[in-house]
């Protein structure tokens, strides 16, 4: 559910950016919304607990498999499912760390962190190679999201059959998030090739690049709708995820 709320907040920030407001269209921008009040900081600490719990759940999936109640379900793609669970565990621990930093008042834009790290890596040929590989990985993850949305294979993760709401939010949400990730990956590669760390700012950089296009506002509104749809799907996932 925390992931769903984060995506809804990011969608809100993207929509504001579409109409000329400032902000960071990534998880740091979403978390930053909460950091300005005492109640918000309490919510951030609750988010830290939730992210750590989700990370531990994914680690358990790596150890015992994603479908312990039905071991035969892990036979075909068990190694792939475990690898995906391990990657998600790392992501959730990173989210927990970021949320904790904002809760303690030390939060920093993900875009600034990415740009700073990229500038250091660009100081060597190997560092540029690492950035290109990172960009390719991000593009691959984005392509997987698009594939999952277009083929509706996200239903494999759920215990319910197809219905209009889940169908719409899954297709639109996965496809939109995939396109945003692909854009972010392309920018990382471009940054490595042109030695311009300002371009390697992740999702926030991709969104702000689109904002500069002639029809940028239109595309950002579509992106906001898509990310909001993915946020709603996350709530469905929290209720009907296949254990």
pLDDT in tens, the chain (243 residues): 667 877 887 788 778 777 776 555 556 666 666 676 777 778 788 888 888 888 888 888 888 876 555 555 555 566 777 887 788 788 788 778 877 887 787 765 555 555 556 666 666 777 778 888 888 988 898 899 999 999 988 888 888 877 888 889 999 999 998 998 888 888 888 877 876 665 555 666 677 677 777 888 888 888 889 989 998 998 888 787 765
Task: End-to-end CA distance of the chain: give it in Å, rounded.
Answer: 16
What pLDDT is stored for residue 131 in this prediction? Answer: 81
CA 169 to each of CA 84, 124, 240: distance values in angstroms, whole numbers, following the listed order: 22, 43, 14
What pLDDT is stored for residue 1 in this prediction? Answer: 65
DSSP helix/strand/coil, 20:
coil
Calculate the CA 174 to chain-centre distance: 11
CA dist 9 and 24 (Å) reads 11
Beta bridge partners of 158: 241
DSSP 158: B
Phi and psi for 22 in degrees, rounded to 5?
Answer: -95, 165
What pLDDT is stored for residue 7 in this prediction? Answer: 82
Q: Model-level pTM?
A: 0.70
């Amino acid at each position: 559910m925390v992931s769903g709320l984060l995506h809804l907040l990011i969608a809100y920030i993207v929509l504001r950016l579409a109409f000329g407001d400032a902000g960071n269209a990534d998880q740091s921008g979403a978390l930053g919304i909460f950091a300005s009040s005492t109640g918000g900081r309490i919510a951030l600490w609750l988010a830290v607990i939730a992210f750590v719990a989700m990370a531990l759940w994914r680690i358990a999936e790596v150890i015992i498999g994603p479908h312990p109640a039905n071991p035969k379900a892990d036979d075909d793609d068990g190694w792939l499912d475990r690898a995906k669970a391990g990657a998600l565990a790392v992501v959730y621990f990173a989210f927990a760390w970021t949320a904790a930093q904002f809760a303690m008042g030390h939060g920093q834009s993900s875009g600034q962190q990415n740009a700073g790290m990229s500038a250091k890596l660009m100081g060597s040929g190997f560092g540029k190679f690492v950035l290109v590989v990172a960009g390719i990985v991000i593009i691959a993850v984005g392509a997987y999201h698009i594939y999952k949305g277009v083929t509706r294979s996200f239903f494999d993760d759920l215990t319910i059959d197809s219905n209009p709401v889940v169908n719409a939010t899954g297709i639109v949400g996965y496809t939109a998030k995939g396109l945003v990730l692909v854009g972010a990956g392309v920018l990382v590669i471009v940054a490595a090739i042109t030695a311009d760390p300002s371009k390697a700012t992740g999702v926030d950089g991709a969104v702000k690049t689109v904002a500069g296009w002639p029809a940028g506002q239109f595309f950002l509104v579509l992106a906001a709708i898509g990310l909001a749809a993915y946020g709603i799907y996350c709530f469905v996932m929290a209720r009907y995820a296949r254990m």
